[in-house]
A and B are shown apart, each in its own frame.
Chain A
Amino acid sequence: MKKIIVLLFLFVGILQVSAQKYATKTGSLKFEATVDAVEEIAAENKNTSAILESSTGDIAVLTLMKGFRFKVALMEEHFNENYVESDKFPKATFKGKVEDFDASKLSATAKAFKISGDLTLHGKTQKVTANAKISKSGDKITVTGNFDIKAQDFDIEIPKLVSNKVSNKIKVSFNLLLAKL
Protein backbone atom coordinates (compact mmCIF):
# COMPACT_ATOMS: atom_id res chain seq x y z
CA MET A 1 0.00 0.00 0.00
CA LYS A 2 2.84 2.38 0.85
CA LYS A 3 4.43 1.61 -2.49
CA ILE A 4 1.25 2.53 -4.22
CA ILE A 5 1.04 5.83 -2.41
CA VAL A 6 4.63 6.60 -3.35
CA LEU A 7 3.90 5.68 -6.96
CA LEU A 8 0.80 7.84 -6.88
CA PHE A 9 2.74 10.83 -5.63
CA LEU A 10 5.35 10.15 -8.28
CA PHE A 11 2.71 10.20 -10.99
CA VAL A 12 1.19 13.37 -9.64
CA GLY A 13 4.69 14.81 -9.59
CA ILE A 14 5.23 13.89 -13.23
CA LEU A 15 1.88 15.38 -14.05
CA GLN A 16 2.83 18.65 -12.43
CA VAL A 17 6.23 18.80 -14.09
CA SER A 18 4.90 18.08 -17.54
CA ALA A 19 1.83 20.27 -17.21
CA GLN A 20 3.70 23.52 -17.61
CA LYS A 21 1.27 25.33 -19.79
CA TYR A 22 1.35 29.03 -20.49
CA ALA A 23 -1.71 30.68 -21.95
CA THR A 24 -3.51 33.92 -22.79
CA LYS A 25 -6.97 34.94 -23.92
CA THR A 26 -6.02 38.49 -24.82
CA GLY A 27 -3.22 38.01 -27.31
CA SER A 28 -2.83 40.46 -30.16
CA LEU A 29 -2.97 39.32 -33.77
CA LYS A 30 -2.58 41.86 -36.55
CA PHE A 31 -2.59 41.68 -40.29
CA GLU A 32 -1.96 44.15 -43.04
CA ALA A 33 -2.80 43.94 -46.74
CA THR A 34 -2.07 47.53 -47.72
CA VAL A 35 -0.89 48.18 -51.25
CA ASP A 36 -0.25 51.91 -51.13
CA ALA A 37 -0.18 54.36 -48.26
CA VAL A 38 -3.41 56.03 -49.39
CA GLU A 39 -5.76 53.48 -47.89
CA GLU A 40 -4.53 51.32 -45.05
CA ILE A 41 -6.02 47.84 -45.03
CA ALA A 42 -5.19 46.53 -41.59
CA ALA A 43 -6.89 45.04 -38.57
CA GLU A 44 -6.14 43.80 -35.09
CA ASN A 45 -7.73 41.16 -32.92
CA LYS A 46 -6.94 41.71 -29.25
CA ASN A 47 -8.80 38.64 -28.03
CA THR A 48 -6.63 35.95 -29.50
CA SER A 49 -6.25 32.82 -27.38
CA ALA A 50 -2.94 30.98 -27.28
CA ILE A 51 -1.45 28.15 -25.29
CA LEU A 52 2.15 26.96 -25.08
CA GLU A 53 3.26 23.64 -23.62
CA SER A 54 6.70 24.60 -22.36
CA SER A 55 7.93 21.02 -21.91
CA THR A 56 7.58 20.27 -25.62
CA GLY A 57 7.32 23.65 -27.36
CA ASP A 58 3.88 22.77 -28.73
CA ILE A 59 1.84 25.88 -29.36
CA ALA A 60 -1.78 26.48 -30.39
CA VAL A 61 -3.48 29.74 -31.30
CA LEU A 62 -7.14 30.45 -31.94
CA THR A 63 -8.80 33.67 -33.05
CA LEU A 64 -12.31 34.60 -34.11
CA MET A 65 -12.58 36.33 -37.47
CA LYS A 66 -15.34 38.62 -36.22
CA GLY A 67 -12.98 39.89 -33.53
CA PHE A 68 -10.78 41.74 -36.02
CA ARG A 69 -11.19 45.51 -35.75
CA PHE A 70 -10.52 47.80 -38.71
CA LYS A 71 -10.31 51.57 -38.68
CA VAL A 72 -13.17 51.72 -41.18
CA ALA A 73 -16.34 49.87 -40.14
CA LEU A 74 -17.33 49.17 -43.72
CA MET A 75 -14.00 47.43 -44.34
CA GLU A 76 -14.73 45.23 -41.35
CA GLU A 77 -18.13 44.36 -42.75
CA HIS A 78 -16.72 43.53 -46.18
CA PHE A 79 -13.91 41.52 -44.59
CA ASN A 80 -16.41 39.35 -42.72
CA GLU A 81 -19.02 39.16 -45.46
CA ASN A 82 -17.01 38.83 -48.65
CA TYR A 83 -13.40 37.96 -47.95
CA VAL A 84 -13.12 35.50 -45.05
CA GLU A 85 -16.86 34.65 -44.88
CA SER A 86 -16.94 34.67 -41.08
CA ASP A 87 -20.38 33.13 -40.76
CA LYS A 88 -19.19 30.02 -42.62
CA PHE A 89 -15.65 29.99 -41.21
CA PRO A 90 -15.83 31.74 -37.82
CA LYS A 91 -12.30 31.06 -36.62
CA ALA A 92 -8.69 30.79 -37.64
CA THR A 93 -6.40 28.36 -35.84
CA PHE A 94 -2.73 27.60 -35.71
CA LYS A 95 -1.23 24.40 -34.36
CA GLY A 96 2.51 24.01 -34.39
CA LYS A 97 5.76 23.76 -32.56
CA VAL A 98 8.51 26.11 -31.51
CA GLU A 99 11.61 24.55 -33.09
CA ASP A 100 14.50 23.62 -30.75
CA PHE A 101 12.56 24.97 -27.79
CA ASP A 102 14.08 24.69 -24.33
CA ALA A 103 12.13 26.51 -21.65
CA SER A 104 15.02 26.39 -19.20
CA LYS A 105 17.17 28.54 -21.48
CA LEU A 106 14.66 31.38 -21.77
CA SER A 107 15.52 34.69 -20.16
CA ALA A 108 14.34 38.27 -20.06
CA THR A 109 16.34 38.91 -23.22
CA ALA A 110 14.31 37.76 -26.22
CA LYS A 111 15.77 34.87 -28.20
CA ALA A 112 15.02 34.14 -31.83
CA PHE A 113 13.10 30.97 -32.69
CA LYS A 114 11.23 29.53 -35.62
CA ILE A 115 7.65 28.40 -35.12
CA SER A 116 6.22 26.13 -37.78
CA GLY A 117 2.88 24.44 -38.10
CA ASP A 118 -0.53 24.39 -39.72
CA LEU A 119 -2.59 27.53 -40.17
CA THR A 120 -6.29 26.97 -40.82
CA LEU A 121 -8.14 29.94 -42.25
CA HIS A 122 -11.25 30.25 -44.44
CA GLY A 123 -11.56 26.45 -44.30
CA LYS A 124 -8.09 25.88 -45.80
CA THR A 125 -5.01 24.57 -44.02
CA GLN A 126 -1.48 25.56 -45.04
CA LYS A 127 1.98 25.14 -43.52
CA VAL A 128 3.48 28.37 -42.25
CA THR A 129 6.73 29.24 -40.54
CA ALA A 130 7.01 32.31 -38.37
CA ASN A 131 10.07 34.14 -37.16
CA ALA A 132 9.53 34.60 -33.47
CA LYS A 133 11.19 36.08 -30.44
CA ILE A 134 10.55 34.55 -27.06
CA SER A 135 11.43 35.89 -23.65
CA LYS A 136 10.55 34.90 -20.11
CA SER A 137 10.31 36.86 -16.94
CA GLY A 138 8.89 35.28 -13.82
CA ASP A 139 5.82 33.26 -14.69
CA LYS A 140 5.25 35.07 -17.99
CA ILE A 141 6.46 34.07 -21.44
CA THR A 142 6.22 36.61 -24.25
CA VAL A 143 6.04 35.33 -27.82
CA THR A 144 6.18 37.88 -30.63
CA GLY A 145 6.74 37.39 -34.32
CA ASN A 146 5.46 37.57 -37.85
CA PHE A 147 4.91 35.65 -41.04
CA ASP A 148 3.49 36.26 -44.51
CA ILE A 149 0.64 34.44 -46.18
CA LYS A 150 -1.01 34.71 -49.56
CA ALA A 151 -4.75 35.27 -49.73
CA GLN A 152 -5.05 32.95 -52.74
CA ASP A 153 -3.52 30.04 -50.77
CA PHE A 154 -6.57 30.20 -48.52
CA ASP A 155 -9.09 30.67 -51.34
CA ILE A 156 -9.70 34.26 -50.28
CA GLU A 157 -10.69 36.02 -53.43
CA ILE A 158 -9.60 39.59 -54.06
CA PRO A 159 -11.60 41.10 -56.93
CA LYS A 160 -9.65 42.66 -59.78
CA LEU A 161 -11.41 45.94 -59.12
CA VAL A 162 -9.70 46.37 -55.74
CA SER A 163 -6.44 44.54 -56.49
CA ASN A 164 -4.67 47.89 -56.56
CA LYS A 165 -5.88 48.50 -52.98
CA VAL A 166 -5.91 45.09 -51.32
CA SER A 167 -2.70 43.10 -51.42
CA ASN A 168 -2.64 39.35 -52.05
CA LYS A 169 0.40 39.15 -49.80
CA ILE A 170 -0.69 39.59 -46.20
CA LYS A 171 1.66 40.39 -43.37
CA VAL A 172 0.63 38.80 -40.10
CA SER A 173 2.16 39.68 -36.75
CA PHE A 174 1.43 38.48 -33.24
CA ASN A 175 2.18 39.47 -29.67
CA LEU A 176 1.27 36.90 -27.04
CA LEU A 177 1.87 37.48 -23.35
CA LEU A 178 1.42 34.01 -21.88
CA ALA A 179 0.87 33.48 -18.17
CA LYS A 180 1.60 30.24 -16.36
CA LEU A 181 -1.56 28.20 -15.81
Chain B
Amino acid sequence: MQYSTTLNMKKIFLIVSFLICLYSNAQEDLLSGLDSTQVVDKNVTATFKALQIITLQSTKLPAKKEFYMVISHRFGTVKGGISEFFGFDDATTKIGGIYGVTDWLAVSASHHTLLKMNEASLKYRLIRQSDKFPLDIVGYSTIDFNSGLKKDDYPKIEFSDRLTYVNQVLISRKFSDRLSLELVPSYIHKNLYNPAIENDNQFTLGAGGRLKLTKRLSLNLEYGENFNKPDFYNNPLSVGLDIETGGHIFQLIFTNSQSMTESGYLTSAAGDWGKGDFFFGFNLYRVF
Protein backbone atom coordinates (compact mmCIF):
# COMPACT_ATOMS: atom_id res chain seq x y z
CA MET B 1 0.00 0.00 0.00
CA GLN B 2 2.72 2.37 1.09
CA TYR B 3 4.70 1.46 -1.96
CA SER B 4 1.91 2.15 -4.42
CA THR B 5 1.15 5.56 -2.87
CA THR B 6 4.77 6.57 -3.35
CA LEU B 7 4.52 5.45 -6.92
CA ASN B 8 1.40 7.55 -7.42
CA MET B 9 3.10 10.55 -5.84
CA LYS B 10 6.01 10.13 -8.22
CA LYS B 11 3.65 9.87 -11.14
CA ILE B 12 1.74 12.97 -10.12
CA PHE B 13 4.96 14.87 -9.58
CA LEU B 14 6.15 13.82 -13.02
CA ILE B 15 2.91 14.90 -14.66
CA VAL B 16 2.92 18.25 -12.87
CA SER B 17 6.55 18.86 -13.80
CA PHE B 18 5.74 17.92 -17.33
CA LEU B 19 2.86 20.41 -17.41
CA ILE B 20 5.08 23.15 -15.98
CA CYS B 21 7.67 22.40 -18.63
CA LEU B 22 5.01 22.64 -21.31
CA TYR B 23 3.77 25.85 -19.83
CA SER B 24 7.15 27.53 -19.63
CA ASN B 25 7.82 26.54 -23.24
CA ALA B 26 4.60 28.19 -24.29
CA GLN B 27 5.55 31.30 -22.36
CA GLU B 28 8.88 31.53 -24.12
CA ASP B 29 7.26 32.07 -27.46
CA LEU B 30 4.24 34.30 -27.23
CA LEU B 31 4.37 34.65 -31.03
CA SER B 32 3.63 31.01 -31.77
CA GLY B 33 0.29 31.41 -30.03
CA LEU B 34 -0.62 34.25 -32.36
CA ASP B 35 0.43 32.45 -35.51
CA SER B 36 -2.58 30.19 -35.77
CA THR B 37 -5.20 32.80 -35.04
CA GLN B 38 -5.26 34.66 -38.37
CA VAL B 39 -7.02 33.91 -41.61
CA VAL B 40 -5.46 34.95 -44.89
CA ASP B 41 -7.32 36.16 -47.94
CA LYS B 42 -6.75 33.22 -50.27
CA ASN B 43 -7.75 34.95 -53.50
CA VAL B 44 -5.00 35.28 -56.06
CA THR B 45 -4.32 38.92 -56.94
CA ALA B 46 -2.31 40.85 -59.54
CA THR B 47 -2.64 38.24 -62.28
CA PHE B 48 -2.20 41.09 -64.75
CA LYS B 49 -0.96 44.63 -64.15
CA ALA B 50 -3.39 46.33 -66.48
CA LEU B 51 -7.01 45.96 -67.55
CA GLN B 52 -5.77 44.86 -70.96
CA ILE B 53 -3.11 42.31 -71.87
CA ILE B 54 -2.36 44.27 -75.05
CA THR B 55 -5.59 45.04 -76.87
CA LEU B 56 -7.59 42.11 -75.50
CA GLN B 57 -9.01 42.50 -72.01
CA SER B 58 -7.25 40.86 -69.08
CA THR B 59 -9.14 39.36 -66.14
CA LYS B 60 -8.32 42.39 -64.00
CA LEU B 61 -11.23 44.62 -62.95
CA PRO B 62 -11.12 48.01 -61.29
CA ALA B 63 -11.84 47.91 -57.57
CA LYS B 64 -15.16 49.25 -56.31
CA LYS B 65 -15.54 52.99 -57.00
CA GLU B 66 -12.19 53.11 -58.79
CA PHE B 67 -12.10 55.14 -61.99
CA TYR B 68 -9.58 54.51 -64.76
CA MET B 69 -8.96 56.86 -67.62
CA VAL B 70 -7.47 55.20 -70.67
CA ILE B 71 -5.80 56.88 -73.62
CA SER B 72 -4.49 54.61 -76.35
CA HIS B 73 -2.84 55.22 -79.68
CA ARG B 74 -2.17 52.95 -82.61
CA PHE B 75 -0.04 54.66 -85.19
CA GLY B 76 -0.23 53.87 -88.89
CA THR B 77 1.81 50.99 -90.28
CA VAL B 78 5.56 51.31 -89.88
CA LYS B 79 5.84 50.04 -93.48
CA GLY B 80 5.29 53.58 -94.73
CA GLY B 81 8.84 54.37 -93.56
CA ILE B 82 10.20 57.80 -92.98
CA SER B 83 7.80 59.50 -95.42
CA GLU B 84 4.93 58.66 -93.03
CA PHE B 85 7.22 59.09 -90.00
CA PHE B 86 6.81 55.32 -89.38
CA GLY B 87 3.07 55.64 -88.98
CA PHE B 88 2.98 58.70 -86.77
CA ASP B 89 1.14 60.66 -89.44
CA ASP B 90 -1.76 58.21 -89.39
CA ALA B 91 -2.19 57.91 -85.65
CA THR B 92 -5.54 56.72 -84.31
CA THR B 93 -6.70 57.41 -80.79
CA LYS B 94 -9.00 55.86 -78.22
CA ILE B 95 -10.11 57.79 -75.18
CA GLY B 96 -12.30 56.27 -72.54
CA GLY B 97 -13.15 55.64 -68.94
CA ILE B 98 -13.76 52.54 -66.87
CA TYR B 99 -15.60 52.59 -63.57
CA GLY B 100 -15.84 49.87 -60.93
CA VAL B 101 -19.49 49.70 -59.86
CA THR B 102 -18.63 46.94 -57.42
CA ASP B 103 -15.59 44.70 -57.06
CA TRP B 104 -17.06 42.29 -59.60
CA LEU B 105 -18.70 44.65 -62.12
CA ALA B 106 -17.20 47.40 -64.26
CA VAL B 107 -18.71 49.60 -66.95
CA SER B 108 -16.80 51.50 -69.61
CA ALA B 109 -17.30 53.83 -72.53
CA SER B 110 -14.80 54.94 -75.13
CA HIS B 111 -14.49 56.81 -78.38
CA HIS B 112 -12.23 55.67 -81.19
CA THR B 113 -11.07 57.94 -83.99
CA LEU B 114 -10.68 54.93 -86.31
CA LEU B 115 -14.05 54.65 -88.16
CA LYS B 116 -15.49 57.04 -85.53
CA MET B 117 -16.51 54.16 -83.31
CA ASN B 118 -18.11 54.45 -79.89
CA GLU B 119 -17.90 51.48 -77.59
CA ALA B 120 -19.66 50.63 -74.36
CA SER B 121 -18.79 47.58 -72.31
CA LEU B 122 -19.64 45.51 -69.28
CA LYS B 123 -17.01 43.47 -67.49
CA TYR B 124 -18.14 41.10 -64.77
CA ARG B 125 -16.22 38.64 -62.64
CA LEU B 126 -17.75 35.19 -62.40
CA ILE B 127 -15.16 33.42 -60.29
CA ARG B 128 -11.78 34.18 -58.76
CA GLN B 129 -8.65 32.11 -58.70
CA SER B 130 -8.04 31.01 -55.11
CA ASP B 131 -6.79 28.02 -53.16
CA LYS B 132 -10.17 26.43 -53.94
CA PHE B 133 -10.42 27.18 -57.67
CA PRO B 134 -7.59 27.28 -60.23
CA LEU B 135 -8.92 29.95 -62.62
CA ASP B 136 -10.15 33.52 -62.86
CA ILE B 137 -13.23 33.67 -65.09
CA VAL B 138 -14.57 37.02 -66.27
CA GLY B 139 -17.25 37.89 -68.78
CA TYR B 140 -16.77 40.80 -71.17
CA SER B 141 -19.44 42.20 -73.48
CA THR B 142 -19.18 45.19 -75.79
CA ILE B 143 -21.50 47.02 -78.07
CA ASP B 144 -19.99 49.20 -80.81
CA PHE B 145 -21.81 52.09 -82.40
CA ASN B 146 -20.34 53.16 -85.71
CA SER B 147 -20.93 56.90 -86.05
CA GLY B 148 -18.70 57.12 -89.13
CA LEU B 149 -21.25 55.68 -91.58
CA LYS B 150 -22.77 58.56 -93.52
CA LYS B 151 -26.40 58.86 -94.59
CA ASP B 152 -25.14 60.05 -98.00
CA ASP B 153 -23.29 56.80 -98.57
CA TYR B 154 -25.93 54.52 -97.03
CA PRO B 155 -29.33 56.24 -97.57
CA LYS B 156 -31.30 53.37 -96.01
CA ILE B 157 -29.13 53.02 -92.92
CA GLU B 158 -30.95 52.53 -89.63
CA PHE B 159 -29.74 52.86 -86.09
CA SER B 160 -29.38 49.12 -85.57
CA ASP B 161 -27.16 48.82 -88.67
CA ARG B 162 -24.48 50.75 -86.87
CA LEU B 163 -24.19 48.19 -84.08
CA THR B 164 -21.73 45.35 -83.53
CA TYR B 165 -21.78 43.04 -80.52
CA VAL B 166 -18.98 41.06 -78.92
CA ASN B 167 -19.28 38.56 -76.09
CA GLN B 168 -16.18 37.10 -74.54
CA VAL B 169 -15.23 34.80 -71.72
CA LEU B 170 -11.84 35.60 -70.23
CA ILE B 171 -10.24 32.62 -68.51
CA SER B 172 -6.89 33.18 -66.83
CA ARG B 173 -4.54 31.50 -64.45
CA LYS B 174 -1.63 32.98 -62.54
CA PHE B 175 0.86 30.13 -62.68
CA SER B 176 3.56 31.91 -60.69
CA ASP B 177 4.55 35.39 -59.59
CA ARG B 178 5.92 35.92 -63.07
CA LEU B 179 3.74 33.93 -65.45
CA SER B 180 0.01 34.41 -66.13
CA LEU B 181 -1.84 32.98 -69.12
CA GLU B 182 -5.31 33.64 -70.51
CA LEU B 183 -7.73 32.11 -73.02
CA VAL B 184 -10.34 34.31 -74.72
CA PRO B 185 -13.14 32.69 -76.73
CA SER B 186 -15.19 35.40 -78.50
CA TYR B 187 -18.46 35.56 -80.38
CA ILE B 188 -18.85 38.57 -82.67
CA HIS B 189 -22.07 39.64 -84.36
CA LYS B 190 -22.15 42.46 -86.93
CA ASN B 191 -25.49 43.93 -87.90
CA LEU B 192 -23.95 45.53 -90.98
CA TYR B 193 -21.61 43.32 -93.01
CA ASN B 194 -20.72 42.52 -96.57
CA PRO B 195 -21.89 38.92 -97.20
CA ALA B 196 -19.55 38.66 -100.19
CA ILE B 197 -16.47 38.88 -97.98
CA GLU B 198 -17.41 38.02 -94.39
CA ASN B 199 -19.93 36.40 -92.03
CA ASP B 200 -22.19 38.36 -89.73
CA ASN B 201 -21.37 35.88 -86.96
CA GLN B 202 -17.73 35.15 -86.27
CA PHE B 203 -16.00 33.04 -83.66
CA THR B 204 -12.46 33.56 -82.50
CA LEU B 205 -10.25 31.94 -79.92
CA GLY B 206 -7.62 34.16 -78.40
CA ALA B 207 -4.72 33.40 -76.10
CA GLY B 208 -2.40 35.71 -74.26
CA GLY B 209 -0.09 36.01 -71.35
CA ARG B 210 2.45 37.98 -69.45
CA LEU B 211 5.92 37.23 -68.18
CA LYS B 212 7.27 39.60 -65.55
CA LEU B 213 10.82 40.62 -66.31
CA THR B 214 11.23 42.72 -63.16
CA LYS B 215 8.82 43.81 -60.43
CA ARG B 216 7.49 46.66 -62.52
CA LEU B 217 8.09 45.47 -66.08
CA SER B 218 6.41 42.64 -67.94
CA LEU B 219 6.49 41.22 -71.45
CA ASN B 220 3.07 40.46 -72.93
CA LEU B 221 1.95 38.46 -75.93
CA GLU B 222 -1.46 37.76 -77.42
CA TYR B 223 -2.95 36.08 -80.47
CA GLY B 224 -6.46 35.50 -81.83
CA GLU B 225 -7.47 32.73 -84.22
CA ASN B 226 -10.49 33.81 -86.26
CA PHE B 227 -12.38 30.77 -87.60
CA ASN B 228 -14.59 32.77 -89.99
CA LYS B 229 -12.34 35.43 -91.42
CA PRO B 230 -11.98 36.42 -95.06
CA ASP B 231 -8.60 35.64 -96.68
CA PHE B 232 -7.35 39.18 -96.94
CA TYR B 233 -7.36 39.73 -93.18
CA ASN B 234 -4.88 38.13 -90.84
CA ASN B 235 -5.18 36.85 -87.31
CA PRO B 236 -4.16 39.49 -84.76
CA LEU B 237 -0.77 38.92 -83.15
CA SER B 238 0.62 41.49 -80.71
CA VAL B 239 3.56 41.90 -78.41
CA GLY B 240 3.83 44.49 -75.65
CA LEU B 241 5.61 45.73 -72.57
CA ASP B 242 3.85 46.81 -69.34
CA ILE B 243 5.60 49.53 -67.41
CA GLU B 244 4.12 50.34 -64.02
CA THR B 245 4.88 53.68 -62.41
CA GLY B 246 2.81 54.10 -59.26
CA GLY B 247 -0.62 55.37 -60.28
CA HIS B 248 0.07 54.93 -64.01
CA ILE B 249 0.32 51.87 -66.15
CA PHE B 250 2.00 52.32 -69.49
CA GLN B 251 1.81 49.65 -72.19
CA LEU B 252 4.03 49.77 -75.26
CA ILE B 253 2.60 47.80 -78.13
CA PHE B 254 3.49 46.31 -81.49
CA THR B 255 0.57 44.72 -83.36
CA ASN B 256 -0.64 43.77 -86.82
CA SER B 257 -4.20 44.90 -85.98
CA GLN B 258 -4.67 48.63 -85.73
CA SER B 259 -8.23 48.73 -84.39
CA MET B 260 -8.81 49.08 -80.66
CA THR B 261 -12.44 47.92 -80.55
CA GLU B 262 -12.77 44.21 -79.72
CA SER B 263 -14.57 43.45 -82.99
CA GLY B 264 -12.21 45.45 -85.19
CA TYR B 265 -9.14 44.04 -83.48
CA LEU B 266 -10.25 40.43 -83.80
CA THR B 267 -11.81 40.47 -87.26
CA SER B 268 -9.96 43.13 -89.28
CA ALA B 269 -6.21 42.69 -88.75
CA ALA B 270 -4.83 44.25 -91.91
CA GLY B 271 -1.12 44.16 -91.05
CA ASP B 272 1.20 41.29 -91.85
CA TRP B 273 4.17 40.66 -89.55
CA GLY B 274 5.95 38.65 -92.27
CA LYS B 275 5.99 41.68 -94.57
CA GLY B 276 7.12 44.16 -91.93
CA ASP B 277 3.61 45.59 -91.95
CA PHE B 278 2.70 46.29 -88.33
CA PHE B 279 1.64 49.12 -86.04
CA PHE B 280 3.27 50.73 -83.05
CA GLY B 281 1.12 52.07 -80.23
CA PHE B 282 0.57 52.42 -76.51
CA ASN B 283 -2.09 52.28 -73.81
CA LEU B 284 -1.84 54.70 -70.94
CA TYR B 285 -3.93 54.17 -67.83
CA ARG B 286 -4.39 56.64 -65.03
CA VAL B 287 -6.22 55.59 -61.89
CA PHE B 288 -8.37 58.00 -59.91
Contact = CB atoms under 8 A, between A and B. Distances in A.
Interface of A: 1, 4, 7-8, 11, 15, 18-19, 21, 23, 25, 39, 47, 49-51, 53, 58-62, 64, 66-67, 72-74, 77-78, 80-82, 87, 90-91, 93, 95, 157, 159, 161-162, 165-166
Interface stretch (B39-47, B89-97, B146-154, B227-235): B39-47
Interface in B32-76: 33-35, 37-38, 40-41, 45-46, 62-64, 66
Interface of B: 5, 8-9, 12-13, 16, 19-20, 23, 27, 29-31, 33-35, 37-38, 40-41, 45-46, 62-64, 66, 177, 215-216, 244-247, 287
Contacts, number: 90
19 contacts: A4-B13, A7-B16, A15-B19, A18-B27, A19-B23, A23-B34, A51-B33, A51-B34, A59-B30, A60-B29, A60-B33, A66-B40, A77-B46, A80-B45, A82-B215, A87-B177, A91-B38, A95-B30, A159-B216
A74 B35 contact: no
A162 B215 contact: no
Contacts of A162: 245-246
B99 to A, nearest CB: 13
A81 B12 contact: no
A161 B30 contact: no
Contact of B37 (A25, A74, A87): A25
A8 B12 contact: yes
B257 to A, nearest CB: 28
Nearest to A165: B246
Contact of B246 (A49, A61, A62, A78): A78
Given A62-B31, A165-B246, A15 B38 contact: no
